[in-house]
Chains A and B, each alone.
Chain A
Amino acid sequence: MADNADDLRLKNGRWFASLARPLNPQERQALLEALQKQDYQEFINVCVRNNILNPQSAFIAGLDWQDLGAEGIKIPLGEPLPAEPKQAPSGTGVGTAAVGIGLAALSRPEKYEDFKKRATNYAEGVAQQWEKEEEKILKKPPKTPDPNRPASRQEAYGRAEKYYHDLLAGGNTKQAKKWLSENPGDIHLAQAVDRHELQRRNLTYEEFQSIRQRYLERTPDPQAKELADREMNDLMLLHSHDRAREWAKKYNDPALGAAVERKRLLDEESINRSRIRRTYHNSRLGKQISRTRDKFKESRTGRGLSRVNKSFWAAVGLPSAVANRLSQTGAGRLISRAKDRFSSALGTPGRAINKVKNRLANTRLGRFAARANRARKKISNLLNPATYLQWLFKRATQGALGGAVGGVASAALSFVSGIVTTVGAAATAALGFLAAKIPFIIGKISALIGTILGLIGSLPISGPALGVIVALSVVIILFASIAGVFFPPPDAGQFPEESPYPGIAYSIACPPEAPESIPSGSNIRCDIIFIHDSSLSSVSLDDLTLVSDFPSGTELVEAQTTGNYILDPEGGIISWALSENSSFATRNETQTSYNFTYVLNPLRDITADITLSIEGLSDDSGRGDPAVGDDCTGQYTQQNSPQGNFGDPECDFTKNGLKDELDRIDRPNAEFWYLIAECESGHRPNAYFRCNADRTICTPQVTGAWGLFQMSISRPNRAPYYAGGRGPWEDQTRGAVNRNKKVINESFDYWACEEIVCRDNRSMCTSNDQYISRN
């Protein structure tokens, strides 16, 4: 789903609706949540409530709500609405039901009166919904208020009414005009038609002036005239930024000029916000914190703690889905609040004492006392090693006693269990082994105890001898389990290495490694681990595909391969689209991990590397076999496009088009991108570079650099896995912007030309560190 394009895309990749403006983070989150829950009514509700959709998105009326995800389509402006909806939701005018009724009506507008009645119902429904939400907000004000929320019921009503009329004007302009001619006094309809008129491609400035004037005349309230004027100018700017800017300058139109200025300020604000974020991310402190955190995670202690933590919560905690649900109930919230208050109350004296202690510690006397205390301890240890050893012994004894109590309790349990029945013990053993499949300590201990109990139960001994054996066994078990947790076998259970992509770690292992070899006739088992942390990565999991090469001379043993995979035996590729493998995911707070296994049967003796790569990180739109166009009437020759016309197959590339596309997808950085493309490729969509003439400069990637932004391709010559530079110029542009936004935190840290500009112009660096490193 693109948040800054003028189109909204569902995850199946088909077009569904048009956005009226870029989404803010709250809206984006709300829409994503609705999509994840497949709650399309909520999805539409969010769109309508926030005026997200373009008026001409009325075609959604033609679809059953439940089918929206699968059947999402795009109907360009001017085409007739789809046929009658399969099943319009019933309801009497509240919230989404009202939307359903309203939209359903649009798909077969029978009578003007009916339309008006439905418009009123719809607006009333939205207003009622607003009231309900307002009550909730008054009870519990949100931490971050929604800036787009209507300020009053009247405003909510007005917006909904306007939106409904816009739906008609955009979706069925002919009908709207016909009704307007029959009912010239309908101001709402007239204004909707006027608003729609602004979208005409061939609109001239004179026509714009005339429409704007008419619009103002139709606004009855003198106070609203100013707002209406502003609205028309903003709309014009929204529909055609270039034209509006040009007219403002050319015809010295102050109102339009003010709109341009407003937009410029908004863009600047957006750039500044983005810069602050990037500055922190790239600052020494941010990097240091990130590095420290990563190092700790990868350290033995970090890994051990993580395992213990996971094991503990997996053993004693509720499944996260259940816990989440419970926490959303009234009782859950109450408990949560009580817990917070309890913790807060309990912590108050401690905090107060700490505060005083800290203050004291910072005084001269405090510092002196601290120094004296440290010295005293050292002296004390030196002078009295016996006390120190005593203390150590005391700690060891306490630990041993704890362990002994546990051991005795376990022994008693084992003793009773062993005597009661062999069958029961055998069942415990089976359960223990099942639990052992789950990688945590409880599972292991259960497995071991179960096994031993089963064995002991079946022995022909009893009484004290059995007790001794049981006690010894339990001690051994505990020792072995604890040793297993803290001293795992070399390399086992390692967290996959962090990849260069923030929040993504992955690894593949197909033991053995050279010089060892597997016995003839044995299969090769490859284990893949992929971990995604949504708090660090902005890449959507649904966009990603794991791809692994396997060597020739092997064949896949499908029966032992896990996950929903796609096999390309000729290309030697097996891939897992993560969107198709959500049932194989394990989620833990912000982390989602996938484990896949595939098994290869070597048909002969082979020595090979098996690799894993991730598709979809840099370009989530440019997939497919790149079409190669002709020479565009001699424009592209072998001399200037040695790899053929891959970048402009439709022969429609222009510099103006490039700038328009950049304005559309990354307005705040559009000029910068334009200059980068100029510096990287001289604005040539078919540019290809591997090495210069004397081979003193070569691209780091053996597949060369492609297109406007001189990007790499991830899988050369293997459709459908092309990405980055080798695609039509619009895809190249989107690929570059996506890579910058999703993969490298908007640092532009991929393009050599960015380095030059940053070196020259400090304001274009994302941080002081970056400027310093460039210079």
Chain B
Amino acid sequence: MKIKTNKDYLLLAFSFVLIIIMVILAVYLTQKEIGGPQKKAPITTPPETVQRVKYKSGTLGKAFDKLVNRVPLTSPDLAVKNRVISQAGESGLIIRTEKYVIEYVRAMDDFEIEILTTDIEVAKREAEAYLKSQGFSSQGLCNLPARFYLNFEVSKIISPQVVFDPLPQGC
């Protein structure tokens, strides 16, 4: 077909405009198809636990070291340990007072002392005195190993300023 009249030109222009519209529409539609979500989801950061108890610097790491790198007990301390354990029986409970609980944990082979009062230093002194009264030496307590920890409810109510040492004195 040859372009001869105005009508032909009009038709040509109309076709061209139509094509452009179709192009724009098609681009828009295809872009919409490949488009992802416009809004990013809120990403939750895994929370960490909070430090409730302030430990004396270096002590918790040392307590762990005492657990995994054992120092052999001297013969007298070993004898006292065997006697105390056999007296404790299957439960491992050695003594329970209002201020502390001492128990031997077979699976860990250690002595764990739970502090039940906010008067931490007094409870520690008394617990240590009790163990020494059984015949343990100061070094023996370190190498048993004996370790203090705070009762969970106590740890919630103590002042954040309190600095806690889980090791017996002199360790």
Contact = CB atoms under 8 A, between A and B. Distances in A.
Given A692-B52, A760-B60, A527 B16 contact: no
B114 A508 contact: no
B40 A497 contact: yes
Nearest to B3: A465
A338 interface: no
Contacts of B151: 682
B11 interface: yes
Given A679-B53, A761-B61, 6 more contacts: A461-B1, A469-B16, A476-B19, A488-B31, A494-B40, A511-B38
A414 to B, nearest CB: 11
Contact of A693 (B51, B53, B156): B156
Contacts of A484: 27, 30-31
B89 interface: no
A613 B49 contact: no
A459 interface: yes
B130 interface: no
Q: Which of B30, B50, B155 gathers most chain A CB within 10 Å?
A: B30
A144 interface: no
A681 interface: yes
B75 interface: no
Q: Which of B29, B34, B151 gathers most chain A CB within 10 Å?
A: B34
A518 to B, nearest CB: 13
B46 interface: yes
Contacts of A513: 38-39
Interface in B96-110: 103, 105-108
Interface stretch (A110-118, A212-220, A562-570, A749-757): A749-757
Nearest to A758: B61
16 contacts: A444-B26, A448-B23, A451-B22, A452-B19, A456-B19, A491-B38, A492-B38, A507-B37, A508-B41, A527-B36, A640-B152, A682-B155, A689-B156, A697-B51, A751-B48, A752-B49
A481 B31 CA distance: 10
Contact of B20 (A476, A656, A756, A761): A476
Contact of B64 (A494, A659, A712, A764): A764
Interface string A382-407: 00000000000000000000000000
Contacts of A744: 46
Nearest to A481: B27
B52 A689 contact: yes
Given A469-B12, A675-B63, A679-B149, A507 B49 contact: no
Interface of A: 242, 436-437, 439-440, 443-444, 447-448, 451-452, 455-456, 459-463, 465, 469, 472-473, 476-477, 480-481, 484, 488-489, 491-497, 499-501, 506-511, 513, 527-529, 609, 611-613, 639-640, 655-656, 658-660, 663, 671-672, 674-675, 678-684, 687, 689, 692-694, 696-701, 705, 709-712, 743-744, 749-753, 755-761, 764
B26 A448 contact: yes
Given A455-B19, A496-B41, A692 B156 contact: yes
A680 B155 CA distance: 10
A760 B59 contact: yes
Q: Which of B23, B26, B52 gathers most chain A CB within 10 Å?
A: B26
A527 B57 CA distance: 50
B49 A750 contact: yes
A500 B41 CA distance: 13
Interface string B59-74: 1111111011000000
Interface of B: 1-3, 8, 11-12, 15-16, 18-20, 22-24, 26-27, 29-53, 55, 57-65, 67-68, 92, 103, 105-108, 112, 114, 149-153, 155-157, 160
B162 to A, nearest CB: 11
6 closest A-B pairs (Cβ-Cβ)?
A760-B61, A509-B37, A761-B61, A439-B34, A492-B35, A659-B107
Contacts of A753: 49, 51, 60
B149 to A, nearest CB: 5
A698 B48 CA distance: 11
B131 to A, nearest CB: 18
A551 to B, nearest CB: 15
A437 B33 contact: yes
B41 A655 contact: no
A484 B36 CA distance: 14
Given A679-B60, A682-B152, A744-B46, A439 B157 contact: no
Nearest to A480: B27
Nearest to A439: B34
A488 B39 CA distance: 16
Nearest to B29: A436
B55 A756 contact: yes
Q: Which of A611, A656, A682, A698 gathers most chain B CB within 10 Å?
A: A682
Contacts of B106: 242, 656
Contact of B23 (A439, A476, A499): A476
Contacts of B152: 640, 681-682, 684, 687, 689
A89 to B, nearest CB: 44
Contacts of A459: 11, 15
Contacts of A451: 22-23, 26
B128 to A, nearest CB: 18
Given A527-B36, A760-B58, A672 B47 contact: no
A409 B105 CA distance: 85
A452 B23 contact: yes
A668 to B, nearest CB: 11
B168 to A, nearest CB: 16
A687 B155 CA distance: 11
A750 B65 CA distance: 21
A687 B2 CA distance: 91
B81 to A, nearest CB: 12
B65 A761 contact: yes
A469 B60 contact: no
Contacts of A698: 50
A755 B36 contact: no
Q: Which of A672, A674, A678, A700 gathers most chain B CB within 10 Å?
A: A678
B40 A699 contact: no
A699 B51 CA distance: 9
Given A493-B34, A700-B48, A755-B51, A682 B107 contact: no
Contacts of B114: 682
Contacts of B156: 689, 692-693
A510 B29 CA distance: 19
A472 B61 contact: no
Q: Which of B37, B47, B151, B155 gathers most chain A CB within 10 Å?
A: B37
A463 B35 contact: no
Contact of A705 (B1, B49, B55, B59): B49
A689 B60 CA distance: 21
Nearest to A749: B48
A250 to B, nearest CB: 10
A497 B50 contact: no
B62 A506 contact: no
Nearest to B152: A682
Contact of A455 (B8, B22, B157): B22
Contact of A436 (B12, B30, B108, B157): B30
B31 A671 contact: no
A212 B41 CA distance: 62
A461 B12 CA distance: 8
Contact of B2 (A463, A481, A612): A463
Given A484-B30, A656-B107, A461 B38 contact: no
B70 to A, nearest CB: 11
Contacts of B32: 492
A674 B155 CA distance: 18
A696 B149 CA distance: 22
A493 B53 CA distance: 48
Nearest to B108: A659
Given A465-B3, A465-B12, A480 B39 contact: no
Nearest to A250: B82
A709 B8 CA distance: 83
A750 B103 CA distance: 29
A660 B106 CA distance: 10
